[in-house]
Structure 1
Amino acid sequence: MPGGRAPARVPRRPRLRGALATVALLGPLLLGAGPDGSGETVSLAGNEPGQRLDVTLVRVVDPASPADPEGPAADASTRLLAARFRLENTGTVEYNDSPAPAAHLLDTAGKRFAGLNTATTAGPSFPDTVTLGPGGSAEGFVTFRLPKDAGPAAVQFALNGGLADDVGQWSLP
């Protein structure tokens, strides 16, 4: 497989803090992603019957620049990171969800950052809501705001606004 081992399907875990969070979230669960994304696909189930997506982390841009100089931007203590995902509805029902809150970034200190719909020059972001019939697909960026000195460690994605029990995870170099 390109970029090393396949991405992980991570069971949903209760939120942990500090060093325990780092070990629990980033330890043996981080599996190979290349510098621009792993290109690996994870099949994820939603909380309702028939909900299933194949999710691929295509590319990661770090740092990312805001698309609109007048819009929200990173300040002196933060930066933007943009992750491009490809979503393919492999289920039997329509996928109707918001990809930004479905995605999270984990840093090397175990902190978790929620995805944003902030447009960057990396490329087009997903709309607020993506609707895909069975067999449909879409591609777009989800943006994360994180401290300038944070080391990105992994990106996660789960259906149902990030609340599904089935979680895909890709490690970042």
Structure 2
Amino acid sequence: MHTPTTITVTLTALTAFALTGCGPTEAVTTKPDTKVSTPTTGTSSSAPAPSAPSKAATVGDTVTLKGKGDGEQLAVTIKKWVDPAEAAEEFMKPDAGKRWVAAQFELVNTGTAVYSDSPSNGTQVADDQGQQFHSTFGEITAGPAMTSSAKVSPGSKVLGWITYEVPKDSKITKVQFTMNSGFASQTGEWTIP
């Protein structure tokens, strides 16, 4: 019989996580330089030990997410948030009764496999009523849009704005990002004040 041991893992660069159930995916938030203790018994693995709830990630925080494939991992940061986001050209604007909001994402490949995806496919925003809105195509004055076909080798990064069209009176409270065009099992979530 093996005696249970506790392995303490120090996560770097704002990558500690707390897992909460969220339908078929897990929501992940971060805290800087936090330690996560994971009990293990013999050769079998077990779920992370329960820990005190962590503060939700906000703009500027980094969330580390795993993809579906071996070696797929990103450190995802929302660098900036704009609300409303101003259209960069006069012929492409939000529909009547709507506005654009946008998040500047930085995706750093911290895994061992190439990250190849359309990042905007796996992101959405939610308002205080629980309504969710997917990304839309729109160039904004805040800066360049996120590429629609990212190919990021291990150790490299990609940076760009992702725009969302929402009703004029919606109060956006969350931004979510999931790898593999939204099909990975972990979802990063950032609270918008």
TM-score for both structures, normalised by structure 2: 0.72
What amino acid maps onto 2:122 in structure 1? A
Secondary structure (helix, strand or coil) at the match of 2:159 reads strand
What amino acid maps onto 2:181 in structure 1? G
Match of 1:158 among 166, 178, 182: 178
Structure 1 unaligned regions, length at least 5: 1-5, 16-27
Higher relative helix content: 1
1:76 Cα offset (Å) = 2.9
Match of 1:136 among 156, 165, 168: 156
The structure whose Rg is larger is 2
- Corresponding pairs, count: 151
Residue 108 of structure 2 contacts residue 157 of structure 2 at CA under 8 Å; is this kept in 1? yes
| Equivalent residue number for residue 168 of structure 1 | 188
1:74 Cα offset (Å) = 1.2
Residue 7 of structure 1 contacts residue 41 of structure 1 at CA under 8 Å; is this kept in 2? no
Residue 98 of structure 1 contacts residue 128 of structure 1 at CA under 8 Å; is this kept in 2? yes
2:167 corresponds to 1:147: yes
Higher relative strand content: 2
| Equivalent residue number for residue 63 of structure 2 | 42
Residue 30 of structure 1 contacts residue 171 of structure 1 at CA under 8 Å; is this kept in 2? no
Match of 1:31 among 29, 32, 56: 56
Aligned-partner Cα distance in 2 for 1:76–1:137:
36
TM-score for both structures, normalised by structure 1: 0.80
Residue 99 of structure 2 contacts residue 168 of structure 2 at CA under 8 Å; is this kept in 1? yes
**What is the root-mean-square deviation of aligned Cα atoms in Å?**
2.2
What amino acid maps onto 1:48 in structure 2? G
Superimposed CA distance per residue, residues 64-112 of structure 1 (whole angstroms, 9 cap, x where no aligned partner): 11112112x1133100001001100001100011111111101100011
What amino acid maps onto 1:74 in structure 2? P
- Percent of pairs identical after alignment? 37
Aligned-partner Cα distance in 2 for 1:40–1:10:
18
Moved over 6 A (4+): none
| Equivalent residue number for residue 66 of structure 1 | 87
| Equivalent residue number for residue 3 of structure 2 | none
| Equivalent residue number for residue 125 of structure 1 | 145
What amino acid maps onto 2:67 in structure 1? G
| Equivalent residue number for residue 103 of structure 2 | 83
Superimposed CA distance per residue, residues 31-86 of structure 1 (whole angstroms, 9 cap, x where no aligned partner): 252xxx2x110000001111000000111000011112112x11331000010011
